[in-house]
A and B are shown apart, each in its own frame.
Chain A
Amino acid sequence: DAGVIQSPRHEVTEMGQEVTLRCKPISGHDYLFWYRQTMMRGLELLIYFNNNVPIDDSGMPEDRFSAKMPNASFSTLKIQPSEPRDSAVYFCASSTKFSPRTGHSTDTQYFGPGTRLTVL
């Protein structure tokens, strides 16, 4: 099975530019998470969706950040305008509360490979 797919894998941009990160969750997963990881702050949950609906966006740093999930197989995280302090690795993860494979509840999150963003 394909895992979580993220694109691009690397992004280098200049301050002030718009950045769009993309994520395709695992098919059948009804939760999607966006994380940011830096050396200073570790792994931070930015926002998560359930059935394409944003549930908790309290981790979104400011209005420059926005996330959408137009359908069950696609999500975007947009930064506009970007700033050097946004440089980080951005991970997308997906999960489901119920595993049809095992028949048990599960909270396992499956992470994508991440997008390494550098804002100059």
Chain B
Amino acid sequence: RKEVEQDPGPFNVPEGATVAFNCTYSNSASQSFFWYRQDCRKEPKLLMSVYSSGNEDGRFTAQLNRASQYISLLIRDSKLSDSATYLCVVNMRDSNYQLIWGAGTKLIIKP
């Protein structure tokens, strides 16, 4: 089993719809969690940190479920510009880094 797993997709979603995808992690000692977005042939960019209490930024909501060991990303009212690959990353350490990246979920928003 991979340490961090994501459904590779692609998720084909009509514009305006709501879409959600998860990322599971195997190490219960994982400390911090993030969602990054990567456009085609570009570098990854931070989308959101994922806090224990969950967090929301506009149309995007991220949640952490430690009991079931997964994080989720919800996108409401999806836009064409949301088309990208969404990468989750888990840091195993608090004082330093031990980063495990998921392979990414590809999202395609269709008009």
Contacts and interface: CB of A to CB of B under 8 A. Distances in A.
Contact of A107 (B44, B49, B102): B49
Instruction: Please list the 10 inter-chain residue pairs (A to B) with the smallest Cβ-Cβ separation, ordered nearest first.
Output: A111-B43, A42-B103, A43-B101, A108-B46, A111-B44, A45-B99, A107-B32, A114-B43, A113-B43, A91-B43
Interface residues of A, number: 19
A48 interface: yes
B96 A109 contact: no
Interface string B43-60: 111100100000000000
B11 interface: no
B43 A42 contact: no
A60 B44 CA distance: 20
B34 interface: yes
Interface of B: 32, 34, 42-46, 49, 87, 91, 96-99, 101-104
A42 B91 contact: no
B43 A107 contact: no
Contacts, number: 40
Given A42-B103, A42-B104, A91-B43, A50 B96 contact: yes
A56 interface: yes
Interface of A: 31, 33, 42-45, 48, 50, 55-56, 91, 107-114
Contacts of A48: 97
Given A42-B103, A107-B34, A107-B91, A56 B44 contact: no
B96 A111 contact: no
A43 B49 contact: no
20 contacts: A33-B97, A33-B99, A42-B102, A42-B104, A43-B44, A43-B87, A43-B104, A55-B97, A56-B97, A56-B98, A91-B43, A107-B32, A107-B49, A107-B91, A107-B97, A108-B49, A109-B44, A109-B46, A113-B42, A113-B43
